[in-house]
Amino acid sequence: MENAVKTRKKSFITPKKITLAAIFMALNVIMSSFGIPVPGGSFYLCDAVICTAAILLDPVTAFAVGGIGSLIGDFFFYPSAMVVSLVVHGLQASVISLVVNGTDEIRGLPVKPRRFGKAVIGVALGTLIMTVGYTIGAAVVYSTPEYAVINIPYELLQSGIGSAASLLICYRFGLIKVYDRFFGKPVAAN
């Protein structure tokens, strides 16, 4: 019995991680509620929260924060785009997290340090996913491709600002160091 306890694989889902994911989801909902009107829609700051969570968390938890957090925010403030937000922001967060963190934590392997270069590539891919996803989503939801095309510059701007803010928060202002202090420092890459 003692050996079974010692050899059991450490779960990547912990109460601290669930709490952190809930905090990021709440921030996502809050940031989704403050929109700046632009032609053809609104400009939201939720991408900063989604990208920050994706840089810090594993891909599954990042999907929950990005997708489900956006779905809840849209449920309250913009219900017609709920499903689009779930898919697009969930995919955006998962891809960023996969590029930055990989799947080591989910598989129970030691987590490697989060490199700034990987984060830049990850959030750039996230920006592309968000822009293309919302453009297609707007064309489907509103049945007007013209409306979707008008929004492309604003989608790029929204996602670009959110990506830049998340990189600043995580790397320049040291959120990664705080996160690592609470959740354990990643091991050096081989």
**Per residue in 151-162, pLDDT tens?**
899 899 999 999
Between 59 and 35, name the one with better pLDDT.
59
User: What's the domain range around 128?
Assistant: 13-33+41-183
Q: pLDDT tens-digit profile of 77-93?
A: 888 889 999 999 999 99
The answer to the question of residue 109 being in a domain is: yes
The answer to the question of residue 160 being in a domain is: yes
> Given this model, what pLDDT does residue 37 score?
83
**Residue-wise burial string across 94-105, b where 16 or more C-beta atoms lie within 10 A, e elsewhere:** bbbbbbbbbeeb
The answer to the question of residue 105 being in a domain is: yes
The answer to the question of residue 189 being in a domain is: no
Between 181 and 50, name the one with better pLDDT.
50
pTM of the model: 0.86
Per-residue pLDDT at 104 exceeds 80: no
- The structure tokens 């991680």 sit at 17
> Are the beta carbons of 47 and 159 closer than 8 angstroms?
yes
Rounded Cα gap, residues 48 and 28, in angstroms: 9
| Domains contained in the chain, number | 1
CATH of the domain at 23: 1.10.1760.20
> Given this model, what pLDDT does residue 40 score?
65
The answer to the question of residue 3 being in a domain is: no
Between 52 and 8, name the one with better pLDDT.
52
> Are the beta carbons of 152 and 38 closer than 8 angstroms?
no
